[in-house]
Structure 1
Amino acid sequence: MRKQDLINQIADRTGIPKVDVLVTLETMFKEVKENITKGESIYIRGFGSFYPKRRAAKIGRNIKKNIAVNIPEHYIPAFKPAKEFITEVKANCKEQVS
């Protein structure tokens, strides 16, 4: 599913114009990005948490040149689904596969 498909589904189910749904989704994505960039976590009850995950500094290898490369500490965006979400996915995926 692409973003446009999601917009179409939300608009069809709610009756809200597609333009308004697009603006709302884009604003939500922007806010999530900005808050994670600031180091803040976002928790959406029943869905999950978006948070910045710390990666420790380490030494990597460049296999082609056979040299060690220092990889500095950095942060990446991460998502942890809520228990309710995990349970629902497990239950529904079993039904679809069987």
Structure 2
Amino acid sequence: MADKSLNKTELVAKIASSTGQSQAAVGGVLDALFAELADAVSNGVKVSVPGWLAVERTDRAARTGRNPQTGETINIPAGHSVKVTAGSKLKAAAK
């Protein structure tokens, strides 16, 4: 299986080409989108684009773990993570 990926530069170029906008304008919009997404998630706000995706912050409880090298028990503090859920349109596109 070949490594298929699309980086930000390629994505900006494709969007600019399909919309007729400049790459600078599209790049600015994407940067603003990601900044607002990060700000919302950091404040505990769930962001959803119906049919496409939902992004939310989740909480992780404190727990104990084990150092694999020494076998020593360690305390892992509580923290946060990010959950990204694919919507129906995104799931259908993947089929």
The residue number in structure 2 matching 1:19 is: 24
Structure 2 residue runs of 5 or longer lacking an equivalent are 1-5
Q: Which of the residues 69, 76, 87 maps onto 2:81?
A: 76
Q: Distance in 2 between matches of 1:86 and 1:54?
A: 26
Q: Give the deviation of 1:83 after TM superposition.
A: 2.0
Q: Between Structure 1 and Structure 2, which shows a larger proportion of helix residues?
A: 1
Structure 1 residue runs of 5 or longer lacking an equivalent are 91-98
Following TM superposition, the consecutive aligned residue runs of length 4 or more in structure 1 with deviations greater than 6 angstroms are: none
TM-score (norm. length: structure 2): 0.89
TM-score (norm. length: structure 1): 0.86
Kindly report the root-mean-square deviation, in angstroms, between the aligned alpha carbons of the 2 structures: 0.9
After the TM superposition, which of the residue ranges 76-85 and 25-34 deviates more from structure 2?
76-85
Q: How does 1:25-64 map to 2 (within 5 A)?
A: 25-64=30-69
After the TM superposition, which of the residue ranges 13-22 and 51-60 deviates more from structure 2?
51-60
